[in-house]
């Protein structure tokens, strides 16, 4: 009984440990890289403020929403058109279905 619990605990730690490690690494890099850039590469820093960054990111986001809608609608139309191509004889030939 103890062996199964240990195996389950190690699987749970593995499934939560890796994303947790990546999240902690991203937070640390997000705090360290801008400071290192400002200290060692002062010519590469941008003089734009937060309002300009918000404007650029909101323009990108507002352009991505219609694109995402278009991609999903085209994917659903393709699935719908391909579903009409299946005949009953073709469906019977699928593996695993024996009649």
* Greater model confidence, 96 or 45: 45
Residue 45's pLDDT band, with cuts at 50, 70 and 90, is confident
* Greater model confidence, 9 or 49: 49
Question: What is the rounded distance in angstroms from the CA atom of residue 86 to the CA atom of residue 82?
Answer: 7
At residue 52, the pLDDT reads 93
Q: Which two three-digit tokens encode residue 71? A: 């991609």
At residue 17, the pLDDT reads 82
Q: Per-residue pLDDT averaged across 70-87, rounded?
A: 83
* Greater model confidence, 88 or 39: 39
């Amino acid at each position: 009984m103890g062996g199964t619990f240990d195996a389950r605990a190690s699987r749970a730690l593995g499934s939560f440990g890796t994303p947790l490690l990546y999240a902690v690494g991203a937070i640390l890099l997000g705090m360290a890289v801008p400071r290192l850039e400002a200290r060692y590469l002062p010519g590469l820093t941008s003089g734009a403020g937060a309002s300009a960054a918000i404007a650029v990111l909101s323009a990108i986001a507002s352009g991505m929403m219609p694109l995402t809608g278009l991609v999903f609608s085209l994917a659903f139309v393709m699935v719908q058109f391909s579903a009409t191509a299946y005949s009953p004889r073709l469906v019977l030939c699928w593996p695993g279905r024996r009649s």
